[in-house]
Amino acid sequence: MSASASISSPPRPSLVALTWPLLAELVLGMAVGVAGLWLASRVSDTASGAFALSNHVQVSFFLLFRIISMGVSVVISQNLGAGDRHSADLTARAALGASTWLGLGAAVVLALFATPLLKLVNAPAEVLPLATPYVRILALALALDAFNASMAAVMRAHMHARDTLYNMLAMHGLHLALSMLLMPSMGLAGYAVAAAVSRAFGVGFHLFLWRWRLALVPHAADWWRVQWRLLAPVLHIGLPGAAENIAYRLALMVTIALAASMGTHALATHSYTMQLMYFILVFGLAIGFASEILVGYLVGARQLHAAHALVRKSLRYGLVVSTGIALLAALSGPWLMRRFTQDEAIISQASTLLWITVLLEPGRTFNLVVINALRATGDARFPVVAGIASMVFVMAGGAWLLGSVMGLGLVGVWIAYAADEWVRGLTMCARWWRRGWVPAARATHRRLTRQRAEAAS
């Protein structure tokens, strides 16, 4: 295909230019979740409970799609940095076939085992009649989300993060508009149908962006063929990354169970504080994802000193902004908590937890930036091995010891959260500063050189 004026090579890499669209996407995603919960609450309190539990199941499955999207983002960034657009396009095409089977597999499991999965998250008996059909319809949207995750990762790796943001704005806007039309008559099922339609729109929009921006048009076989040779480097990055995310989620569930054992007030306090923490951490997440793409690009270009300097710059920005947001949230704690509850005991304890979060957030920023940077160099296994040990013994074990055994309650749980973030963060920083990632970066160079030689032969 001949390139048109709209088709362009990747823009010049810029940390700020990549970070702000990613930040907007993350905030948008959380805002849509809040809006969905509000729409469900207008149906009934039972519907809002069904919505929350069902989305918990959906998010757990969505972590599987990170196997492909995470790996694709890094591998394509490395290829583009090395000037190998041909291999980048082959990887993008291979991601479609993998997304098809991963999405279909997740959708089939969700549709067939909706009730057992909901029971795993302790769905009350009165919630199941609403949640089960909702989850089964949502399975179609989940299958389409597999494509959106990988196709968006390709666009971001090409530095077209703003285009992906526009797609997400249109997709989520369509979802909410259709939900408001359908939910009065269909209840939660209307929200799920709207989700499926909007995700199909998102796939179509991504196909348009691929053609317009990247001159990339998938072949029919790309949608079903699994190309293991091309997917090997993707899985090398994606599988350890997904394992780390799953391990964190499991450790977090242990601490939530501990909070639940402390009583209704403790569980409510934990829930409200965590909701605020999600908004606090979004900047760290965004700058971490942006750093991953840019470090992959620089490693592919063999600019290892520039990659090292970029991580230092990302950490400076991340530490200042994330800690500042956490401090602002702590200072505003009582006012923010009154948006959720009027219970003074909950407000007081949550305010204390937010001050601990001010100490926690710098440690989390080290993790979000440096782990993503390590992954982008090809050093994907170290963060998993070191991370899981800390999650099990410091986060889950520490929460049990401090919160339950020593009787510190939620304060003990939050201290364990902070300790885990700092232990992992300092461990990852030591790995980066001691250049433990350099052998992995050199192995990446050798792989990229072999790819170019094979393409030329």
At residue 437, what are phi and psi to the nearest 5 degrees?
Answer: -90, -10
Q: Which of 65, 102, 85 is nearest to 226 (CA)?
A: 102
Q: Which residues contact 316 (CB under 8 A, 6 or more apart)?
A: none
Task: Look up the pTM and report it.
Answer: 0.90
Q: Which of 290, 305, 316 is nearest to 438 (CA)?
A: 305
Give the C-alpha separation, 40 to 217, whole Å. 39
Tens-digit pLDDT profile for residues 317-359: 999 999 999 999 999 999 988 877 788 888 999 999 999 999 9
Q: Which of 232, 207, 269 is nearest to 413 (CA)?
A: 269
Tens-digit pLDDT profile for residues 204-246: 999 999 999 999 999 999 999 999 999 999 999 999 998 998 8
* Residue 7: C-alpha distances to residues 3, 4, 31, 320 (Å): 6, 5, 32, 37
Secondary structure letter of residue 436 according to DSSP: T
Tens-digit pLDDT profile for residues 105-164: 999 999 999 999 888 767 778 888 988 999 999 999 999 999 999 999 999 999 999 999
Determine whether 366 is exposed, middle or buried from the number of CB atoms within 10 Å of its CB (0-12, 13-18, 19+). Answer: buried
- With contact defined as beta carbons under 8 Å apart, do 167 and 25 qualify? no
Q: pLDDT value at position 339?
A: 79
Give the percent of the chain with pLDDT over 90. Answer: 72
Query: Is 2's pLDDT higher than 90?
Result: no
- With contact defined as beta carbons under 8 Å apart, do 352 and 269 qualify? no
| pLDDT mean over 281-288 | 94
Q: pLDDT value at position 1?
A: 39
Query: Is 170's pLDDT higher than 50?
Result: yes
